[in-house]
Chain A
């Protein structure tokens, strides 16, 4: 079994492994933030700080042959699905060891073995593709399910509405998960959208829909599982709205100074990491000292990943000419 598949298997049912993965994602994102801030990494990046429970909860109920079409806020979902920190960070640093060989960068992570389709840097861009994957499963007559993960901003783009309609009329085995982190890029959702509960938009497509607490992994697991079960058994698509909060700004350049005072602190009181920590403590699976030890260990591991990726070789020039088409055609 590959390292990625082992990592995926680990989080399927073990609360300790799920907590550990959340700590890993938090450490990873903090390191990435620092590396961008110091100018060590070029380009842009979009952190998923505060949204760890959603991606880990999703990954823990999906099969590896259930493809996920996600967004440029890609690091968390990639690590949750099992991509190794060196494969993700290598890609973000543009190195040959990256999951896309250094051709993709922060916004374009991919590992088909783990079900991660190339993440899209276009708002809503991944939604029709998830529906298409689901169409393939329907035509092939298998029981695979496709998942689209997208933000609240995507509910205002045409792809969202067209895709929900198409998935509904064809009863496709697809689950739409809207990560409503309150902000679409720099704009609070209430400034751009006349409704608070985005999932009700599925009503006009006669599609089952509901909201869940995206900070609570058990709520995520239960909700996603129910939608996946429906899709797998031929019951068609579901729109889930996961209520989360983006602890960081939209992207590298954004300090998120537009937030109302106290909003971030209020959400931080329900930080998914705190909730996951409480969960393993209450159930007696980890002690305070074990938790402290885990955090130190994960921080060291991610530091080591940074060092490993920084020392890793650059991709060769040849790689930029490969994989345009299936066969090389001289032009």
Chain B
């Protein structure tokens, strides 16, 4: 199996789909000639040419909407939103037009498109280039929302997303682009299926994107036998895998790169409480970011993001007391 960086896995997945399906096209800002600001579209223009691989003006609204329109007419467009925040000016086209096309055509239209966006903190991009913002799209029926965490899931999930007949939002942790991993290009991953990336019997962590790595690092130094689930798909999320795991361990910790309010982890906790109330040994908890914008300063940004030390502190407290520990900002009086 070849080892590749996450950004190469993404470019390879797009290329493999473009080779097998002539209706796949890709466009976005600086993705053709420059091969992408994060080199996630390397080699595509050269192999597939300027009809199928296009640079766009800085016009997220127009090109996201153009993807919707092209998808209704038989293409499978992939668009790249350089930073997820730039989706703000295109939300109308994705949320109000694209996500409703099938419903408001009474099933006459499908919208097989993928919106790829880089997300997340850790690189010092500041308050307007470091958010994850899954909740912008997760609350819109009609969209599917995916987030890979490594090279294999980036490759396999992106292929699944491109093949899917519905609009998919594909959220790539920017921090992981340079990370290497082995990729089996024959391995298929399904939308809506989570991965158990580390088995364990005492406690279940559900994580997403780069938080999967945080969970792994925490588990390595923890005295607890932790099972880690990489959720992979936020909508529709894999209830079966999560519920089976928590039924076994009796404990749930969700690790989210997202301010505390309105995060996807609340959905997981609510469902687990409703379905497994009597099986729970401790109260399910969420480890999140505080309700503040992402700070620029390196030390502050590192505190903002959930990290292995805080994850293990929370888990140890939970195991010791059975109660939900306070988040660090409450402990420190903020």
B104 touches A100 (CB 8 A): yes
Instruction: Say whether B264 faces chain A, with CB atoms less than 8 Å apart.
Output: no
Contacting residues, chain B, for A67 (C-beta < 8 A):
72-73
The chain B residue sitting closest to A141, CB to CB, is: B51
B61 touches A129 (CB 8 A): no
Instruction: Say whether B64 faces chain A, with CB atoms less than 8 Å apart.
Output: yes
Of B25, B66, B100, B192, the contact of A131 (CB 8 Å cutoff): B66
Give the complex CA separation of A140 and B207 in angstroms. 41
Give the complex CA separation of A182 and B252 in angstroms. 60
Most buried by A among B25, B68, B69, B72: B69
Chain B residues near A (Cβ < 8 Å): 25, 51-52, 54, 56-57, 59, 61-75, 77, 89, 92-93, 96-97, 100-110, 141-142, 144, 165-166, 192, 235-236
The chain A residue sitting closest to B110, CB to CB, is: A326
Of A110, A326, A329, the contact of B104 (CB 8 Å cutoff): A110
A192 CB to nearest chain B CB (Å): 20
B125 CB to nearest chain A CB (Å): 24
The chain B residue sitting closest to A330, CB to CB, is: B236
The chain B residue sitting closest to A130, CB to CB, is: B69
Of A99, A120, A132, A158, the contact of B66 (CB 8 Å cutoff): A132
Instruction: Say whether A11 faces chain B, with CB atoms less than 8 Å apart.
Output: no
Give the complex CA separation of A324 and B142 in angstroms. 5
Instruction: Say whether A238 faces chain B, with CB atoms less than 8 Å apart.
Output: no
A110 touches B67 (CB 8 A): no
Given contacts A139-B52, A165-B59, contact A324 B72 (CB under 8 A): no
Most buried by A among B52, B70, B72, B106: B106
Contacting residues, chain A, for B97 (C-beta < 8 A):
120, 122, 125-126, 128-129
Given contacts A128-B69, A166-B56, contact A324 B61 (CB under 8 A): no
Stretch in A1-9, A101-109, A219-227, A255-263 with 4+ CB within 8 Å of B? A101-109
B67 touches A132 (CB 8 A): yes
Contacts A/B (CB < 8 Å), 10 sampled: A110-B105, A110-B108, A128-B97, A129-B68, A130-B69, A140-B74, A159-B65, A166-B66, A323-B102, A326-B166
B96 touches A122 (CB 8 A): yes
A135 touches B69 (CB 8 A): yes
Number of residues of chain A lying within 8 A (CB) of chain B: 49
Instruction: Say whether A69 faces chain B, with CB atoms less than 8 Å apart.
Output: yes
A158 touches B89 (CB 8 A): yes
B102 CB to nearest chain A CB (Å): 5
Most buried by B among A112, A139, A170: A139
Given contacts A132-B66, A165-B59, A329-B192, contact A137 B104 (CB under 8 A): no
The chain B residue sitting closest to A166, CB to CB, is: B62
Given contacts A110-B105, A112-B105, A166-B59, contact A128 B142 (CB under 8 A): no
Contact flags A153-196 to B (C-beta < 8 A → 1, else 0): 00000110011011001100000000000000000000000000
Contacting residues, chain B, for A100 (C-beta < 8 A):
104-106
Given contacts A118-B100, A163-B62, A326-B165, contact A132 B108 (CB under 8 A): no
Instruction: Say whether A32 faces chain B, with CB atoms less than 8 Å apart.
Output: no
B24 CB to nearest chain A CB (Å): 10
Of A129, A165, A169, A170, the contact of B65 (CB 8 Å cutoff): A129
Given contacts A118-B104, A324-B142, A329-B236, contact A131 B65 (CB under 8 A): yes
Give the complex CA separation of A181 and B77 in angstroms. 35
Give the complex CA separation of A129 and B40 in angstroms. 26
A137 touches B108 (CB 8 A): no
Contacting residues, chain A, for B104 (C-beta < 8 A):
100, 103-104, 108, 110, 118
A244 CB to nearest chain B CB (Å): 25
A112 touches B108 (CB 8 A): yes
Beyond known contacts A99-B106, A329-B236: 6 more, CB 8 A cutoff: A117-B109, A122-B96, A127-B62, A140-B74, A159-B65, A166-B63
B103 touches A323 (CB 8 A): yes
A136 touches B96 (CB 8 A): no
Give the complex CA separation of A99 and B109 in angstroms. 13
Give the complex CA separation of A103 and B92 in angstroms. 20
Instruction: Say whether A331 faces chain B, with CB atoms less than 8 Å apart.
Output: yes
Of B52, B62, B105, the contact of A118 (CB 8 Å cutoff): B105
B107 touches A322 (CB 8 A): yes
Contacting residues, chain A, for B166 (C-beta < 8 A):
325-326
Given contacts A325-B144, A326-B165, contact A128 B64 (CB under 8 A): yes
A133 touches B96 (CB 8 A): no
Give the complex CA separation of A322 and B105 in angstroms. 11
Give the complex CA separation of A323 and B100 in angstroms. 9
A77 CB to nearest chain B CB (Å): 15
Give the complex CA separation of A198 and B153 in angstroms. 49
Give the complex CA separation of A325 and B54 in angstroms. 28
Contacting residues, chain A, for B89 (C-beta < 8 A):
158
B79 CB to nearest chain A CB (Å): 10
Instruction: Say whether A280 faces chain B, with CB atoms less than 8 Å apart.
Output: no
A135 touches B106 (CB 8 A): no
Contacting residues, chain A, for B101 (C-beta < 8 A):
118
Give the complex CA separation of A114 and B64 in angstroms. 25
Contacting residues, chain B, for A53 (C-beta < 8 A):
none
A136 touches B70 (CB 8 A): yes
